[in-house]
């Protein structure tokens, strides 16, 4: 998600929410449920991808580093550079485990699992 020019672009959180997410095999794995923001810094903590469950009951969520989302114009959704197998074994959480103080440990676990460099160091 970097540009050659050094310029940046803004995207509204409300537009990100609801966008479909695909894995590297091209399978739709869910959609962006929310974006978690850091209360104490200027950082985007992670995107929340919802998958499984039925009508919100028993639904589980993955915390995905913002930098791992790559928008694919052709598909009209985000592609994340992780395979089906990686995502199957990834940390999964209830929505409550991703907000407030618990969000920090979910974030740390996510960046470690997906081997994404922490933005907060």
Phi, psi of 44 (to 5 degrees): -80, 115
Measured in Å, how far apart are the chain's first and last C-alpha atoms? 19
Cα angle 94, 99, 12; round to 5: 110
Contact with a copy of itself (CB under 8 A): which of 31, 104, 109, 113? 104
Q: Tell which positions 1-40 bind a copy of itself, by CB under 8 A.
A: 1-3, 7-14, 16-17, 34-40
| Pairing label, strands 70-72, 77-79 | antiparallel
Site string for a copy of itself, 36-65 (x = CB under 8 A): xxxxxxxxxx--x-----------------
Q: Which residues bind a copy of itself (CB under 8 A)?
A: 1-3, 7-14, 16-17, 34-45, 48, 66-67, 98-104, 106-107, 119-120
């Amino acid at each position: 998600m970097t540009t050659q020019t050094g310029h940046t672009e803004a995207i509204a959180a409300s537009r990100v929410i609801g966008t479909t997410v695909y894995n590297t095999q091209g399978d739709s794995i869910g959609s962006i449920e929310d974006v978690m923001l850091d209360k104490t810094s200027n950082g985007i903590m992670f995107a929340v991808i919802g998958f499984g469950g039925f009508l919100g009951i028993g639904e589980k969520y993955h915390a995905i580093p913002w930098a791992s989302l790559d928008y694919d114009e052709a598909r009209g959704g985000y592609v994340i550079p992780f395979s089906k197998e990686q995502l199957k074994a990834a940390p999964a959480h209830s929505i409550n485990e991703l907000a407030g103080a618990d969000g920090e440990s979910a974030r740390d676990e996510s960046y470690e699992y997906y081997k994404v460099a922490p933005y907060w160091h």
